[in-house]
Amino acid sequence: MSKSPLPDAPAPQSLLEAAVYVDDLDAARGFYRDILGLKLFQEVPGRHMFFALGPSVLLVFNPTATAQPPGNPKMPVPPHGARGPGHVCFAMKRDEIATMETRLQAAGVETDTSFDWPNGARSLYVRDPAGNSVEFAEPWLWDEMKG
């Protein structure tokens, strides 16, 4: 790392995309599209699925496929991937979380936990078919700590 001063640059102000890694894309599609209701807008069989969430995107990758160098030189995305459970959190209002919990239960998805944080924000945790921790939380969960 260089010891010279770093040039000024603005810090990122929002998250454009987040990724989870799954071995079974069909099961993930069933969970994220069919149960959660996310809009699937791109899919490469055996490799990935992309879901729209307002201005953000949830990337669902097969880590075996994405760990390989890209086959398209016009898209030089570096190899990447993770193994083991990850985490993603979706922002929802309290009443929407309650409705989602009912929907998840009706679909046979077990709740890991559902509780109110010390600041009063609600969180619901479940697992996707790959074991990733999927949270639904009120969007103001971190407001107090962020300042």
The residue whose two tokens read 């097969």 is 62
**Percent of the chain, pLDDT > 70?**
96
Question: What tokens appear for 59 in the block?
Answer: 């990337």
pLDDT band at residue 71 using 50, 70 and 90 as cut-offs: low
For 17-69+81-146, CATH number out of 3.40.50.920, 3.90.70.10, 3.10.180.10, 3.20.20.70 equals: 3.10.180.10
Q: How far apart are CA 134 and CA 125, in angstroms?
A: 6
Q: What pLDDT is stored for residue 2 in this prediction?
A: 58
| pLDDT value at 145 more than 90 | no
- Give the single-character DSSP code of 106: H
- Give the single-character DSSP code of 109: P
Instruction: Identify residue 34 by its one-letter amino acid code.
Output: D
Torsion of CA 85, 30, 24, 115, to 10 degrees: 10
Kind and range of the H or E run holding 17: strand 17-21
Question: What tokens appear for 89 in the block?
Answer: 């959190």
Q: What is the pLDDT of residues 94-124, one digit of tens each?
A: 999 999 999 999 999 999 999 999 999 999 9
**Whose CA is closest to 108, among 30, 21, 46?**
30
Q: How far apart are CA 118 and CA 59, in angstroms?
A: 31
Q: What is the rounded average pLDDT of the residues 14-32? A: 94
Q: What is the pLDDT of residues 42-62, one digit of tens each?
A: 999 999 999 999 999 999 999
Q: What is the pTM of this model?
A: 0.89
